[in-house]
């Protein structure tokens, strides 16, 4: 099951929770933010937005999962993922996140667990767009050449290929990346690439081959 949001939990968190066990175990992946200094990340979490607290407020048992700890340890990560019901992946830089997923083997392990129904995957912004076949076009929103310490510099353009279209988050939204989202949409249109735009609050929900776009709820986000 996939729950792909434009921004944070979106307006349909009840849909997500209804597909999970009671008091679900959630691993939060924040590696898309590795491009930012640790101190600024902590300040933002304390003063602006705490995704752990948000999920705990919805009755989840939350644990951080730093993919950097599993670089070169795919087998260990694959085993560890079985200890959660949902992997929730935060926004940030999509290309940094994709590198982290490849270096840790998350891309392979999570694909196998999703196909077997062992876990669910959810995420917003970068955490959503990596589910697409490719990250081409997202380079107009995120810097492909951003490389945090400990990461390989090679750009990975392939997505996880869990959906057959690209996602443009923050489209026509009150978000700093909304203008860039419009540029990315034009890129997909001009290149004939299948895509879906998401306004903040909207969510793509479902399983392979059967997805629905859940609309923004006025005054909910």
Q: Which residues, 6+ apart, have CB-to-CB distance to 28 below 8 Å?
A: 51, 52, 55, 62, 63, 64, 65, 88, 89, 90
Half-sphere exposure of 157 (CA within 13 A, CB side): 4
pTM of the shown model: 0.96
Could you read off the pLDDT tens digit of each residue along the chain, which spans 221 residues?
999 999 999 999 999 999 999 999 999 999 999 999 999 999 999 999 999 999 999 999 999 999 999 999 999 999 999 999 999 999 999 999 999 999 999 999 999 999 999 999 999 999 999 999 999 999 999 999 999 999 999 999 999 999 999 999 999 999 999 999 999 999 999 999 999 999 999 999 998 778 999 999 976 65
């Amino acid at each position: 099951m996939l729950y792909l949001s434009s921004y944070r939990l979106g307006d349909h968190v009840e849909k997500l929770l209804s597909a999970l066990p009671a008091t679900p175990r959630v691993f939060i992946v924040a590696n898309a933010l590795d491009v930012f200094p640790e101190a600024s990340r902590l300040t933002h979490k304390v003063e602006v937005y705490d995704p752990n607290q948000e999920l705990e407020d919805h009755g989840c048992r939350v644990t951080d999962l730093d993919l950097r700890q599993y670089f070169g340890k795919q087998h260990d990560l694959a085993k560890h993922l079985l200890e959660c019901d949902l992997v929730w992946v935060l926004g940030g830089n999509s290309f940094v996140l994709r590198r982290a997923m490849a270096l840790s083997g998350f891309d392979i392990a999570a694909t196998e667990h999703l196909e077997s129904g062992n876990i669910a995957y959810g995420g917003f912004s970068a955490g959503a767009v990596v589910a697409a076949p490719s990250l081409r076009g997202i380079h107009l929103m995120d810097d492909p050449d951003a490389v945090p310490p400990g990461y390989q510099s090679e750009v990975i353009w392939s997505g996880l290929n869990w959906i057959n279209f690209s996602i443009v988050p923050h489209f026509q939204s009150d978000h700093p990346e909304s203008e860039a989202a419009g540029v990315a949409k034009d890129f997909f249109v001009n290149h004939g690439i299948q895509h879906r735009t998401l306004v903040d609050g909207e969510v793509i929900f479902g399983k392979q081959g059967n997805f629905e776009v859940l609309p923004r709820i006025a005054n909910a986000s």
